[in-house]
Structure formats: C-alpha cells, structure tokens
Structure 1
Amino acid sequence: MIHEEGGVGGKVKICRVCGDKAFSYNFNVITCESCKAFFRRNANKEREIRCPFSEQCEINVVSRRFCQRCRLAKCFDYSIGRDIYTGDSP
C-alpha cells in the first residue's frame, strides 16, 4: 500500500517512517531519502542504540533526528527488516 496524500499536481508519496515526502520504495517500504539512508547506516550495526527518553518517541519530520532507537524501531515496524536488507538496494 502506498501512503499518499493529495497535493498540487497529483498524489504526493509520504514516508511511512517520518511522514516526509517520499519518491520511491526502499527495502519494500515507501520512504524518504533521509530514512532510507538512516536505515542503511544503522540496520546491521551490532551496537545497541538507546532511547534518551521513554522509548515511546513520536517520529516525524522534525523529531526524527532526536531518537535513533525509536526511529529504527519504527523502520522495523513497517516491515523494513534486517532479513531484506542486503546492502545492495539503491
């Protein structure tokens, strides 16, 4: 399912992780370039990322930079998974 909103000139695709404008599917989910790059950098890291707050952070365009742990968790919630990430996706 593509998450879209009406906009000037047609449908605007919306990132499933943060709500920013998205242009394509990345790792089987419609995401913005920022979330795509974030996921690519962090998906296979062995270190544990900790939430500086309550592990219930709302991830949106503004807050996505504040909590890596909750942002990565939201990526996995939307079926962006380690099993489909190979490092080869554009």
Structure 2
Amino acid sequence: MPKYVLWGTYCDDVLEKRAPYRQAHLDGLAKQKESGVLITIGPTKDITKVFGIYEAEDEATVRQLIENDPYWQNGIWTEYSIKEWIQAF
C-alpha cells in the first residue's frame, strides 16, 4: 500500500487556539493509528509545522482524513501538502 508524507503549517498562537479542539484531534489520530492508516504524526519543535506519514489506498483518503480533523476545520492547521513517499529503508 502506498505511503504519503504530510507537511502542514500551524496558525499563530497555536498553543492557545488549539486548546478547545485538542482532545478531539488526539482522539481522531488515535483511531487512525489503531486502524493502521496513520504511521506517525507530530509538530516540529518550534510548533510551526506538522509532519506525518500515512499508509493509505490513495492520496484522496489522506486528504479526507486531514480535512476532517478538528485542527483543519478550525484553522489550527492553515495549509498542507501531501506527497507520495517511497520508503527506501
């Protein structure tokens, strides 16, 4: 199954703005991880970018997961890109 890399950007004042949506966001990610579609995800140390790796049937599936996430729907993630990834090792 193909793998996809997510790079996204967080809004300004992310630590304050994410608070109302954080638990729903984490719960959704946990479900994705349990299902096997989410390999890993997390912010950069400076909390300006988010990086993730997904394993899914197609890019549309990954886009749907991202766009249904409370962080995307509430402007915590402000933009994202997805690239299909070839894992060499």
TM-score by length of 1: 0.28
Q: Which has the higher strand share?
A: 2
Question: TM-score when scaled to structure 2?
Answer: 0.28
With CA pairs under 8 Å and 6+ residues apart, which has the higher RCO, 1 or 2? Answer: 2
The higher radius of gyration belongs to 1
Name the structure where helix makes up a greater proportion of residues: 2
